[in-house]
Chains A and B, each alone.
Chain A
């Protein structure tokens, strides 16, 4: 039974031929196949798809409604706070620029910079806490106090420096 494998392939190529009606037979099979699949799609698939779409639409609808409700609760207080924060930060930045213009003591500037950064970090922490507990009025107070503190220390130090700079050129020792 031993054969050369090369001869096997030679025989196959030479003997096998497609029948003349092979196109018609293939088309008939293909047509029959399409008809069967169409029937499955029109019932099971469409029902499933419709159900899935309905579920998605329902879930989306309720999610949006729920989100809207939450947004409504947040807007009144948080919008007020956001606006307040924006106004304060503009003022703080303006006062910081004014401070830099009159302050000559680099140690003082560095100390204030460090202080303001520290306060900004505190603000971020409290703000994060507030976003997860928007009913807590105490946290709002602390946020506003933080902003007020930043503004106040900048205004106070400028007033302090201006008073010191008003001096005359006299260097005196006073004995009372």
Chain B
């Protein structure tokens, strides 16, 4: 009798385990395309991965990973998710919402109250202060920083979420208790000629590989991470978003409250405000218009030709280009810190702009380009390698 009870309990244990950890392929569809095909993606609370397609089709795939959820709970979660992809002639529209982003650790106690590990103050620690140690970063070091971000991530391994440490080691979650984790994977593959429009709210967009598609992005409250975005006709507008890209060539960008780290830019116009943006290398054809942001211009390429900055109330960290160049600062009411030296450029009585500072090319070696700052109420921090 005891053995029957034991076997029964054992079977129940196995059964309950199998229903609490599973991967669910929620949606899968693909579409034929041609040169006129456009793809519009509407995202809300989602996490999207874009990848190049090699078979000329647009592929839309959703899957979900559940750990700690009962079969009933999984069913309930899936019923809250709305996703659809339709094609009308050459227009494909994908709509997805409530595909919740990866949850942070949380546990339930006996009464069902929720607690966060470390509490709110621990979870939302202060941002790293860049001002303390501003050093020149190379383009390559930023690429390395982007590819190997030092953060812990959760990996779904063997029907369980496990922690992947910064050094790559995998460990089980400690004190699992009644921890429940759900993660959605939403992957769209598209051929390079398809025009892509993405409207995203509270969504994360990860672009893998080189994207040469014509893009029209309007992203709010989320993140944009990409390797290479290459198209002159791109229109990218991002607000309250983290932007991390290895290379951008071409396009018009609007950054509002953006935390940006971009290794290399060329042939691009940026209109920004209230942002903090690090640029690893500035190439030819770059124009920036800014209000009240903080920029880091780490390097200029050996042939950037001309760089124009128009700004008000901006902080500029300007690292002297290594190759020969000219440098002109026009405007008024600006301070330039050059090491311990402070150069003050007062406004005129009528607040007229004037030629505040000029450095002509030395005429030695290869001339790389002209740097023009038109700046009002600005603060420039200049750095040299001397």
Contacts and interface: CB of A to CB of B under 8 A. Distances in A.
Interface of A: 69, 72-73, 75-77, 80-81, 84, 105, 108, 111, 115, 122, 126, 134-142, 144-145, 148-149, 153, 156-157, 160, 163-164, 167-176
B125 to A, nearest CB: 11
B346 A169 contact: yes
Interface string B271-312: 000100000000000000001100000000000000000000
A137 B116 contact: yes
14 contacts: A77-B116, A111-B291, A135-B106, A141-B104, A142-B202, A145-B240, A149-B257, A160-B315, A164-B335, A171-B347, A173-B354, A173-B357, A175-B359, A176-B359
Contact of A167 (B101, B257, B344, B356): B344
B313 A160 contact: yes
A139 B257 CA distance: 18
Interface string B79-110: 00000000000000000000011011010000
A138 B101 contact: yes
A141 B124 contact: yes
- Which one of A69, A164, A173 has the highest number of Cβ atoms from chain B below 10 Å of its Cβ? A164
B355 interface: yes
B126 to A, nearest CB: 9
A4 B221 CA distance: 94
B78 interface: no
Contacts, number: 107
B112 interface: yes
- Which one of B101, B123, B221, B291 has the highest number of Cβ atoms from chain A below 10 Å of its Cβ? B221
Nearest to A76: B113
B5 interface: no
B379 interface: yes
Contacts of B157: none
Given A73-B114, A135-B103, A160-B377, 13 more contacts: A84-B120, A115-B274, A137-B104, A139-B202, A142-B202, A148-B124, A149-B240, A160-B379, A164-B377, A167-B344, A169-B346, A171-B348, A172-B344
Contact of B114 (A135, A156, A157, A170): A135
B113 A174 contact: no
Given A84-B120, A138-B202, A164-B335, A72 B111 contact: yes
B32 interface: no
B112 A72 contact: yes
B114 A176 contact: no
Q: Considering the complex of A and B, which 4 residue pairs feature the smallest CB-CB distances, nearest first?
A: A167-B344, A76-B113, A171-B346, A137-B104
Contact of A164 (B123, B333, B354): B333
- Interface SS of chain A: helix
B135 interface: no
Contacts of A170: 344, 346
A165 B292 CA distance: 16
A167 B313 contact: no
A163 B378 CA distance: 10
A144 B122 CA distance: 12
Given A136-B100, A157-B313, A76 B120 contact: no
Contacts of B202: 126, 138-139, 142
A168 B334 CA distance: 12
B120 A81 contact: yes
Contacts of B106: 135, 137
Interface string B372-386: 000001010000000
Nearest to A153: B274
A168 B343 CA distance: 10
A69 B112 contact: yes
Contacts of A84: 120
Interface string B224-261: 00000000000000001000000000000000010000
Given A137-B103, A137-B104, A157 B292 contact: yes
B165 interface: no
Contacts of A69: 112
A119 B16 CA distance: 46
A173 B356 contact: yes
A76 B111 CA distance: 11
A75 B113 contact: yes
A76 B379 contact: no
A167 B111 contact: no
A77 to B, nearest CB: 5
A140 to B, nearest CB: 8
B140 interface: no
A129 to B, nearest CB: 8
Contacts of B291: 111
B27 to A, nearest CB: 21
Nearest to B104: A137
